[in-house]
């Protein structure tokens, strides 16, 4: 699966900005607001793209619970997160 961010393109400033955005949205909008979940998904993708699969998995697990509660287990957003979690799990298992 291709991701918009490759190891070569991620820098500490981008990651820090994504963390700040997530924290701000969580604080102002709440944990399950769509914008907050998008920020969490962005962080998960960042960590996945740089090979930090355990951190990415923890974010995907949180997102999976949130999207399941918000949209239901069979919603396309939930299923996408579950698919990404499986990708990360397979990377962890192969390491």
Name residues whose C-beta falls within 8 Å of residue 58's C-beta, 6 or more positions apart in sequence. Answer: none
What is the rounded average pLDDT for all residues in the chain? 89
Look at residue 1 in the predicted model and tell me its pLDDT: 34
Buried b / exposed e along 46-60 (16+ C-beta atoms within 10 A)? bbbbbeebebbbebb
**pLDDT tens track for 56-74:** 999 999 999 999 999 999 9
Q: Model-level pTM?
A: 0.84
Q: What is the mean pLDDT of residues 66-88?
A: 95
Q: What is the mean pLDDT of residues 35-40?
A: 96
On the question of pLDDT at 75 being above 70, the answer is: yes
Q: What is the mean pLDDT of residues 12-38?
A: 94
């Amino acid at each position: 699966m291709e991701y918009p961010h490759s190891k070569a393109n991620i820098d500490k400033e981008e990651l820090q900005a994504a963390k700040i955005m997530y924290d701000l949205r969580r604080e102002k909008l709440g944990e399950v607001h769509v914008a907050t979940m998008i920020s969490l998904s962005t962080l998960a993708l960042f960590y996945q793209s740089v090979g930090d699969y355990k951190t990415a998995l923890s974010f995907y697990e949180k997102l999976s619970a949130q999207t399941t509660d918000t949209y239901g287990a069979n919603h396309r957003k939930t299923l996408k997160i579950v698919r990404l979690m499986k990708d990360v799990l397979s990377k962890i298992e192969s390491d």
